[in-house]
Amino acid sequence: MTDLTAAWDRLLQAAAGADERRIVSLFDAEPDRLARLCVTAAGLELDLSKQPWSLADLDAALALALAADIEAARDRLFAGEPVNASEGRAALHMALRAPKGSDFKAQGEPVSAEVEATRARMAAFAEKIRSGALKGATGKPFRAVLHIGIGGSDFGPRLVWEALRPVASAIQVRFAANVDPAEMAFALAGLDPAETLVVVVSKTFTTQETMTNAQTARAWLRAALGPAGDAHLVAVSTALDLVEAFGVPADQVFGFRDWVGGRYSVWSSVGLSCVIGLGAEVFERLLAGAAAMDDHFRAAPLATNAPVLLALAHIFNRNGLGRPVRAVVPYAQRLHLLPNFLQQLEMESNGKRVTADGRPVAHATAAAVFGDAGTNVQHAFFQLMHQGTDVIPIDIIAVRETSDGDPAAQRILLANAVAQAEALMVGRPEAEVRAELSAKGLSRAEIDRLAPQRTFPGDRPSAFILLDRLTPERLGALLALYEHKTFVEGVLWGINSFDQWGVELGKTLASRVLSELEGGPPGTHDPSTSRLIGDLKA
């Protein structure tokens, strides 16, 4: 038995005892529980004391992290080694947000100078747009940016824009990802082609959905502006020949390297639309916040390392207690897209069934992630969270202060965030419900009928992440926290968190089906698929 196998066995044995106690009882049994399970990192406060583990269980989880050699894996990541083994690439998104003068290398090749040059060029281009120095084909300044991309080329920039955009913006930023024509119809509605810049984000410039939408946008520009409409095109890509053929001016092309994974790419030129819409200074602050979390992850001991502890809490629930689903609820409307972002980050990164060397995994991997903004979800799926048959762990993210409006409303929002975490853990025992109903004069028969329905079992775990304000720095730190948490989980499971072969098969088959829908010869399919194709062609 290897040390890692033994550490896994110890963790699973520890988790087996978690069902024999209630979380709330641990606060009296462990006087230093809050001290050990509340940490601060890069301006974020993380409270894991409402998780189902005891401090002894925490020690078993930390022993697992040591046995998996998390620190060495982290060092290989930051050193730019090919941690994405199946594609022979580094995963060096940390270099994209590092301070000036850093010295990151991707597989031995210095990259920091190139990163800084690209950031400076992005900032200069964005300032020309924002100041009106660079105008459209008719001499009008740009008032809108249409960002076209999908997956990692969409989720990150869309989240950053929604989280940080001014309530009233001089430049509006819109997004189109889905190939559904309705997406582009809504994205273009009300825009003036003479005042619109179209940013097309695709590393290969061949992504079907992105290029279909890009062709629609280009036709829209040309219909209004003629060939001069191509001057309104910007590309974020490395396929320079395809970009040139598409009509994008050479000085409006921004590249990024293959060690930038899609779901880790918002920090790169993929975030150009945000730089234009928010300003380079805001974007630099976003990068600085992420870099601060990088520093914490790189230097903090495992026992006080926020990404490591958050990953271990999720591992304890997923593997120790067999909980395959997790909710993420930001009590901040500006962060309502965070669950969508994390769905891709976590489920695409760690939704794997084989290890990095091709063997079947020994343990269940990524949990399914869902969620939306509180307090909306309290009127949607929180009934299931409190009284459903499954225990679903939850991450609650809250912001102490708001700059958007009424402080009284913000206090109501925060009261709900704190109360829900408490209610999920503490619950409401049936004896208390019976006493309350009896005090109201209900009959014994009515009490017997209603009490079970009004009882809350509690013991539903939560992680609570508190930001002082939703600043660019805190948003950057929050996203980097989850990036590194995802990496740690991948190391513990022995999988490659930086490839995504699972998205390829459906794309390949879609191309074959499309050929048939457009009149090509019939292919070989299962009977159900053949019937569907026939119905669509009829």
Tokens of 439: 């005090």
Rounded Cα–Cα distance for residues 6 and 11 (Å): 9
**Are the CB atoms for 380 and 304 separated by under 8 Å?**
no
Compute CA distances 40 → 43, 325, 357, 477, whole Å.
6, 26, 36, 11
Tokens of 137: 């084909």
3-class DSSP state of 480: helix
Q: Is 498 exposed, middle or buried (0-12, 13-18, 19+ CB in 10 A)?
A: buried
One-letter amino acid of 260 = V
The active-site residue out of 81, 348, 483, 489 is 348
Sheet holding 368-370, edge to edge: 38-41, 44-47, 462-469, 394-401, 325-331, 368-370
Kindly report the number of other CB atoms within 10 A of residue 139's CB atom.
7
Rounded Cα–Cα distance for residues 212 and 9 (Å): 50
Active site residue 507: yes
Tell whether the torsion through CA atoms of 329, 331, 337 and 342 is positive or negative.
negative
User: In this structure, what is the dihedral angle of CA atoms 422, 423, 427, 430, given to the nearest 10 degrees?
Assistant: 130
Distance from the first to the final alpha carbon of the chain: 61
> Cβ neighbours of residue 177 under 8 Å, at least 6 residues apart?
148, 149, 150, 151, 154, 158, 183, 209, 210, 213
Tokens of 72: 């060495």
The active-site residue out of 401, 446, 507, 537 is 507
Q: Where are the alpha helices (DSSP H) in 331-429?
A: 338-342, 349-350, 382-387, 407-426
**Are the CB atoms for 329 and 395 separated by under 8 Å?**
yes
Compute CA distances 498 → 67, 84, 88, 305, 310, whole Å.
22, 5, 11, 22, 19
Query: Closest Cα to residue 262, out of 514, 490, 498, 30?
Result: 498
Query: Closest Cα to residue 339, out of 369, 315, 311?
Result: 369
The active-site residue out of 20, 379, 440, 504 is 379
Tokens of 390: 């499954």
Rounded Cα–Cα distance for residues 156 and 263 (Å): 7
Just list the catalytic residues. 348, 379, 507
